[in-house]
Amino acid sequence: MLSLAPRVSAVARSQRQYKTFIMLACFAGSAANKSIPPDKKMVPSERVFSLCHGARLVIKQGDITTEDVDAIVNAANERMLGGGGVDGAIHRAAGGELVRACAAVPEVASGVRCPTGEARITPGFKLKARHVIHTVGPIYENPKYSAPLLASAYRNSLKLALEHGLKSVSFPGISTGVFGYPFDEAAEVALTAVDKALDAAGEGGSVKEVRFVLFNEPLYKTFVETAEERSVETATGAAGPPARTKSSEL
């Protein structure tokens, strides 16, 4: 199991260099339905770490819309009707059926289908992933209030994956774009939440691979550094094909 103690990462300095780019790219994406492009210098390797109960953690830099897994997680908004950044990219890749499926999700309040920290699931449609788990991360303010909501977004996403018997789930760095969550803090919260959720699920939990597919190199490095400093057992290199459920298992 990952041991997750507080710490300050040197990679945090790199985040400040990207802040203006991320904000402009996300706002432009929201206005023109454009996604945040991955850095041109993509990191080819995947880093693989051991989690509890035989599960593994894979961290890579790349495009989450191309993941061939049971489910990818969408960093959505509360309306669930698409937007910029990862949200817009997933909607474009999945096709128009996804927005129609999202529109069919019942509102729990006016204009709110998925409150911050909660999660909803739809089919993946044209994606390689069979499902999309939509979750809403918090806008970063005081970590006292933001951290529990971010942890809840990860926890509820994995809860849905477990309820549907899914084996592999790919996450983006929730709230690390225009919502402004510091990379170091986001990585700590994410890895803590994943580890606790899988530990609570026990040996019988279906999820055996959690993947973080991150859009830029500083974010990728921060997640790797966080996992390295906390992992008991680490492997470096290609992760191999992710675990997937069979149709008959659903």
Which range marks the domain in which residue 91 is found? 12-237
- 6 in a domain, yes or no? no
- 5 in a domain, yes or no? no
Q: What is the mean pLDDT of each run of 10 residues along the chain (250 residues)?
A: 46 45 39 42 74 97 98 98 96 98 98 99 99 99 96 99 99 97 98 98 98 97 95 50 50
Rg (CA), the chain: 17
Q: Which DSSP category does 53 fall into? A: G
CB atoms < 10 A from the CB of 188, how many?
24
Say what the pLDDT of residue 150 is.
Answer: 99
Q: How far is CA 47 from CA 168, 202, 208, 244, in A?
A: 16, 24, 16, 19
- 1 in a domain, yes or no? no
- 63 in a domain, yes or no? yes
CATH classification at residue 148: 3.40.220.10
- 124 in a domain, yes or no? yes
Q: Which DSSP category does 79 fall into? A: T
Among 188, 180, 196, which Cα is nearest to 212's?
A: 188
pTM: 0.80
- 54 in a domain, yes or no? yes
Say what the pLDDT of residue 230 is.
Answer: 84
Q: How many whole angstroms separate alpha carbon 69 and alpha carbon 168?
A: 6
- 245 in a domain, yes or no? no
Catalytic positions are 87
Domain count, the chain: 1
Say what the pLDDT of residue 238 is.
Answer: 47
- 248 in a domain, yes or no? no
**pLDDT (tens digit, 9 = 90+) per residue, 197-227?**
999 999 999 999 999 999 999 999 999 999 9
